[in-house]
Amino acid sequence: MMKRALIVFGAWTAVALLFALQMHLQESSSEAQPRSWGWILVWQLTGWWTWALFTAPVCAFAAWAVRIRHPVKVIATHLPVAVLTAIACAGFEGGLKSVLGLWRTPHTLLSGVTDGIDIWWTFNVLVYAMIAGLYHAWRATRLETQLVQARLDALVGQLQPHFLFNTLHTISAFVLEDPKQANRMITRLSELLRQSFNRERGPLVTLEEELELLDHYVAIQEARFGDRLRVTFRVDPQAGSALVPTLLLQPLVENAIRYGVAPNGGNGVAEVEISATRKGDRLHLEVRDNGPGVNGDKRVDGNGSGSGLGLANTRARLQELYGPGHRFELANAPAPAHGALATVEIPFSDHARSHR
């Protein structure tokens, strides 16, 4: 928090210095009595440091407004806030300048506030738009970085030796015993890799598309483990069009299989259930396994946050996309069931709603 505040004040200080230099050059070429460099610097710093104080609230509101997702509604939401913020910032700056005696003519606190609003509020609307725009650009860059990391996490999971070699070993075993099954597995593996790193897949995809990708991964694992693994999909038809983060479910299912098959080795059957339901304006996703649970396999750290493959990045992306509007938990399944239960709950949104 302190580091972020220092960066914000440092950036606005740099802006103040640039405007101070410009003002100093203008004052030097003016026929009127030029102001001192010290006065110019304080004049500019009081203005731009005022915006340093308002930057955090503007970014916080922009973070909330972006989750509306409809571009026209986002702009309409920003407009009144931009005007109110511009007026408040201009009034604060004008009052501060009057307290410090920076106005060229004598001002009271009230006249300083009113003159500041009259002079700067329209310019401050543009500054507000610049801050909001920079926040959106930073957020888009951060989301893209997280998406790349999610793809790398998927690559690590799919190409780590024990997965890839075992998959290829299973394919080679089927080549003589069941050539059609071997061919299906090759197709599944190629589709899994192709879709995982398809650049056309943005930060959000439909749940149907996410389940299609997941189906390739599950089919490969079921072929590998045979009767030792049973995966069940329970998907509400109304939930299929929901928009979800790309590669949301695969790390959850991967961890469920990873921690479910080994403890249930021998004649035991690892069971993984994937469910998706729509509850009003919320999408509820669950991945359940019958393994030893989160305490038995240490899938969570001391704060109860997932630490398995890809789970940290999943948590970060959900926070970035939905903020407090989401829920992500990895806990022991409620009695009488046993095993781990990963739960994701996000606002329901689909293509139709996004483009209305």
pLDDT of residue 254: 85
Of 232, 289, 286, nearest in space to 258 by CA = 289
73, 197: one domain: no
Amino acid symbol at 186: I
70, 198: one domain: no
Q: What is the spatial distance between Cα 92 and Cα 87, in angstroms, rounded to a whole number? A: 8
User: Hey, how many other C-beta atoms are within 10 angstroms of the C-beta on 169?
Assistant: 11
Q: Has residue 91 been placed in a domain? A: yes
Residue finishing a domain among 104, 139, 174: 139
Q: Has residue 334 been placed in a domain? A: yes
Of 172, 259, 150, nearest in space to 223 by CA = 172
Q: Has residue 272 been placed in a domain? A: yes
Residue finishing a domain among 139, 174, 208: 139
224, 172: one domain: yes
329, 217: one domain: yes
98, 228: one domain: no
Q: Has residue 146 been placed in a domain? A: no
pLDDT of residue 288: 92
180, 271: one domain: yes
127, 164: one domain: no
Taking the model in full, what pTM does it have?
0.56
91, 177: one domain: no
Alpha-carbon distance values, 205 to 247, 255, 288 (Å): 9, 22, 22
134, 190: one domain: no
Handedness of CA 251, 255, 256, 261 (dihedral sign): positive
Q: What is the DSSP letter of 107?
A: -
Q: Has residue 53 been placed in a domain? A: yes
125, 198: one domain: no
Q: What is the spatial distance between Cα 93 and Cα 99, in angstroms, rounded to a whole number? A: 10
Residue finishing a domain among 110, 139, 168: 139
pLDDT of residue 143: 73
Q: Has residue 188 been placed in a domain? A: yes
CATH number assigned to the domain comprising residue 185: 3.30.565.10
Contact 307, 155 (CB under 8 A): no
- Backbone torsion region of residue 67, taken as left when φ is above 0, otherwise alpha when ψ lies between -120 and 50, otherwise beta: alpha
Q: Exposed e or buried b for every residue in 293-326, given b needs 16+ CB within 10 A?
A: bbeebebbeeeeebbbbbbbbbbebbebbbeeeb
Range(s) of the domain holding residue 12 = 2-25+36-139
H-type helices in 35-108, by residue range? 37-65, 71-99
Q: What is the spatial distance between Cα 342 and Cα 345, in angstroms, rounded to a whole number? A: 10
46, 117: one domain: yes
Alpha-carbon distance values, 277 to 167, 240, 281, 348 (Å): 32, 9, 11, 10
Q: What is the spatial distance between Cα 287 and Cα 275, in angstroms, rounded to a whole number? A: 7
Handedness of CA 139, 141, 144, 148 (dihedral sign): negative
Q: Has residue 133 been placed in a domain? A: yes
Amino acid symbol at 209: E
Of 62, 118, 109, nearest in space to 90 by CA = 118
Q: What is the spatial distance between Cα 287 and Cα 123, in angstroms, rounded to a whole number? A: 51
Of 132, 141, 147, nearest in space to 63 by CA = 132
Alpha-carbon distance values, 203 to 200, 269, 270, 314 (Å): 10, 35, 31, 12
Q: Tens digit of pLDDT per residue, the chain (356 long)?
A: 677 788 888 888 888 888 888 888 877 766 566 778 888 888 888 888 888 888 888 888 888 887 776 778 888 888 899 999 999 999 998 898 888 888 878 888 888 889 889 888 889 999 999 888 888 888 877 777 666 666 555 544 544 555 677 788 788 888 878 888 888 888 888 888 777 767 666 778 899 999 988 998 898 888 888 888 899 999 998 898 999 988 889 889 888 888 776 655 555 788 999 999 998 899 999 999 988 888 655 454 433 444 454 677 788 788 878 888 899 999 888 877 778 899 999 999 876 544 33
165, 206: one domain: yes
Q: Which helix (H) or strand (E) holds 349?
A: none
pLDDT of residue 233: 94
Write the DSSP string, 208-255: HHHHHHHHHHHHHHHHHHGGGEEEEEEE-GGGTTBEEETTSSHHHHHH
Q: Has residue 144 been placed in a domain? A: no
- Number of domains observed in the structure of the chain: 2
The full length of the chain comes to: 356
